[in-house]
Every structure is written in structure tokens, then in C-alpha cells.
Amino acid sequence: MVSTTSCIHYYYAPSSNNVPLFKAKNEGRIQAQYTTVGVGADLENSIDGFEVQSAYAIGNHTAIQLNFLHAAHKEGDYGSGDGNYIEAAAGYFKPSVNKHWIFETYAGLGTGTVKSIYGSEYNSATAKTSVTKFFVQPSFGYSSDYFSMAFSSKFSMVDFGVRNSSLSKDTNPIDYEDIESFKKGKSYFWWEPGIMVRAGFKEIQAITQITYSMQGNDGPPFSNLNYSIGIILPFKIKGK
């Protein structure tokens, strides 16, 4: 979740769906990923960032997770932006009899801020917006010691707020209207499906994810694609 600029200022982007695919109590995952967010296949105007995701199975069928996203972008005279987003979730997982096929679902809450600069850094307006997000994320996938893949489907309800803004309706009419719309307290719904693949050794694996975000036409400008690649460290804490 981040807002940056690329000929237009974006106020929302999907974070990668965290899909741990646990099988038993005391399993854990820590992963770090390079992330690119953008609009469709527009790689020229993509926004770079990074994510850190973690999860831990606190019970035989229950788990928690904590995730962080940062992204930033700067483009010539039009301006720049950077954002940070953090979310926490708890959920349920159920492996099949052979423990390779796994269903899981998480519910969580996230919050973040976005700083936007409209124009050159020496003569520009600024705005700082906030976002609050409630989500439910069911997933289904296959997992072995050396290879895993899953499809996830995240349903998100998002509220925006304005911390401060120096935008003027006369000089920045479009951006001004976007910021003013956040003050009305309207909630927006996003559907964010994703595909995750990871492979490697028991102790360290490579992971890649694609997450796509879809929303109705009445929402704010947003980035709808998140592609990430990184490493994941699976671990298990010996319990009693």
C-alpha cells in the first residue's frame, strides 16, 4: 500500500499477499522481497520498494503474521511520493491428509501513510494522506520441502484520511479533488488476487509473487500491480 507519482499521483497499491502454507504448530517464515508496483504492464513508470513479511503458527491450526511495505518514486518536474504500510493478521490453516495441499484464511488490519510532493522540490505543494485497511485473505496451495505454490484472494476494505495538505484548487485542481474526496469518509472495496511460487532448500528458498488489485471506477487513482521477488527463511521452533 503506497502512493507515488508517475504522471499521476497514486494513493493506493497492493502489498504482496503473505501465504505461509503452514502444516503444523511452531512453523515460521521470514521473507524479504524487492517489489515493483505499477499500472498494468507499464514498467517504465513502475515504483520500486521492498517488503518484509513474517508468519508463525502458534497452534495446530492457528497462525499470526506481520508485514511491512515501503515504496517511493520521483519523476522530474511532476513530483514525487513515498509511502509506508504495516499490517498484522491472524488466521486458520488446514492441511490435507497427506499435508501437501493446504487451505488457509487470514483476517487482519493495516495502516500506512503516504507523502506526496506535487511539482519541483523547490516550488511545490505537498500532502500527507493516511490509509486504514481491513482484509480477509483465503488461500489454497501445494507445499513440499522444496517447492510450493498457491493462489490467494484478498478482499480489502480501505478508508483514506488526510493528515495535512497545501494543495490549491486553482493550481492543482485534479490532485486537489482527489485529496478532498478522502475527507468525506467513504470506504472503498478492493479485490486482490495473487499467485505465489517458492522453491529451494529446507533452510532457504527463492520466492516470487504477483498480486493484482481491482476496484470500481469511483475509487482514487491507484497502482494495480505488485510484482516481488526475494528470499524466504522457513524455520521451526521445537515445542513441548
Quote the pLDDT of residue 176.
85
93 or 123: which leads in pLDDT: 93
Question: Would 142 be classed as within a structural domain?
Answer: yes
Q: Is residue 18 part of a domain?
A: no
Bridge partners, 206 (sequence order): 199, 231
Cα separation, 153 vs 214, in Å, equals 11
Query: Residues of the chain with pLDDT > 70: what percent?
Result: 89
Per residue in 10-62, pLDDT (tens digit) is 888 899 999 999 999 999 999 999 998 876 545 556 788 999 999 999 999 99
Q: Position of cell 468525506?
A: 184
Is the pTM above the cut of 0.85?
yes
The predicted pLDDT at position 77 comes to 60
Residue 8 lies in a domain: no
Q: What is the residue whose three cell numbers read 493495516?
A: 110
What's the mean pLDDT when you consider all of the chain? Answer: 88
Range of the domain at 80: 27-236
pLDDT in tens, 188-219: 999 999 999 999 999 999 999 999 988 876 77
Whether 2 maps to a domain, the answer reads no
Single-letter code of the amino acid located at 47: I
Residue 12 lies in a domain: no
Q: Is 231 exposed, middle or buried (0-12, 13-18, 19+ CB in 10 A)?
A: middle
The answer as to whether 32 is a domain residue is yes
Domain count within the chain = 1
- Confirm whether 173 is domain-assigned: yes
Domain with residue 197: its CATH number is 2.40.128.100
Q: Residue 204 falls within a domain, yes or no? A: yes
Cβ–Cβ < 8 Å for 162, 127: yes
Mean pLDDT of 142-156: 96
pLDDT for res 76: 60
